[in-house]
Amino acid sequence: MNFKLAIIGVGMMGEAILKGVIEAGVVRADQIAIYDVNQEKMGKVIKETGVNGVESISEAAKNSEAVLLAVKPQYLDPVLNDFGKELPDSSLILSIVAGIPIETISRKLNHNKVIRIMPNTPAAIREGFCGWYATSEVLPDQREFARDLLNAIGTATEVPSESMLNVITAVSGSGPAYVYLFIEAMIDAAVRLGMPRTEATGCVLQTVKGAAIYLESRDCHPVQLRNEVTSPGGTTAAALDVMESAGLRSAVSDGMQACYDKAIELGKLIR
């Protein structure tokens, strides 16, 4: 049986993309095959979505127009080895494996139609951000397929150079974790000030959500809205003064630099 799409690895991101493309109608469930070493997980996803399961990676490679690699970087090498020589020349390889450059995948598979993607976890609710880069060998209709697939899980942007994907890793790929840490800190501070945790959680979540939506609606620099909230000598000014003095801005910058450096390091895992 021939499939439109095969997904190797149905962890959180693989499953999110799978469900997104089905819900958006980009690919029908009966046109999708999945493979995961965790047979229990694979069976659960098959039951929930109605997609097809395959018994091996080589079977997925041989019978699919496009193959999405959705495994952790440390597991990619054996996955690529399991492709064997079954991959048709016309197939498209899509990779969301963090840090691993296209050159590594192309060399291992002896295949040049490759798109590298950096998604993030809000893709699970179709509110993700994806940066992607395609080799020159990827055909126009394959680019269009990739664009449709990624827009099904949020916003997708094609970047001008592959190196930009490491920057996107540091910004949006890991970005949700930065936001969750800030939310967690705000909730804990609210509890310390006397607010019950349930109410604190709801208050902080709506504050963050509302601020993001409002900033988007105003289409202006964040500093403009921050200044609108910050009266001279007022409560907000007192809070921001402490946060700035504690090095919040530099901590964010240093953390994102560390993420970027780690992404480059991961790219050297496979030779």
CATH of the domain at 108: 3.40.50.720
The pLDDT value recorded for residue 1 is 59
* Cβ neighbourhood burial of 198 (10 Å; 0-12, 13-18, 19+): exposed
SS3 114: strand
What is the spatial distance between Cα 78 and Cα 183, in angstroms, rounded to a whole number? 38
Q: Count the helices and strands in the chain (H runs, E runs).
A: 12, 8
Per the DSSP assignment, residues forming a β-bridge with 34 are 7, 53
Q: Which residue has the higher pLDDT, 228 or 20?
A: 228
Asked whether residue 254 carries a pLDDT value surpassing 90, the answer given is yes
Structural domain including 109 reads: 3-160
Per-residue confidence (pLDDT) for residue 67, from 0 to 100: 97
How much is the average pLDDT of 105-133? 94
Q: Is the pLDDT of residue 85 over 90?
A: no
Q: How confident is the model at residue 267 (pLDDT cuts 50, 70, 90)?
A: confident
DSSP at 170? I
Tokens 């997980």 sit at which residue? 41
Instruction: Tell me the per-residue pLDDT of 203-219, one tens digit each, with 9 for 90 and over.
Output: 999 999 999 999 999 99
CB 52: neighbour CB atoms within 10 A?
18
Amino acid present at 214: Y
Specify the CATH number for the domain of residue 181: 1.10.3730.10
Determine what percent of the chain is predicted with pLDDT higher than 70: 99
21 shares its domain with 51: yes
User: Do 180 and 228 fall within a single domain?
Assistant: yes
**pLDDT number for residue 90:** 93
Same domain for 142 and 47, yes or no, is yes
Count of Cβ atoms closer than 10 Å to residue 191 Cβ = 15
Does 168 map to a domain?
no
The reported pTM is 0.90
Report the chain's mean pLDDT, rounded to a whole number.
95
Domain termination residue (choose one: 160, 192, 217): 160
Count up the domains in the chain and report the number: 2
- Say if residue 84's pLDDT is above 80: no
Q: Which of 125, 70, 129 is nearest to 100 (CA)?
A: 70
What would the mean pLDDT of 12-19 be, rounded to a whole number? 92
CA 4 to chain centre: 22
Asked if residue 73 is part of any domain, the answer here is yes
Residues 109 and 58 in one domain: yes
pLDDT higher than threshold 70 for residue 130: yes
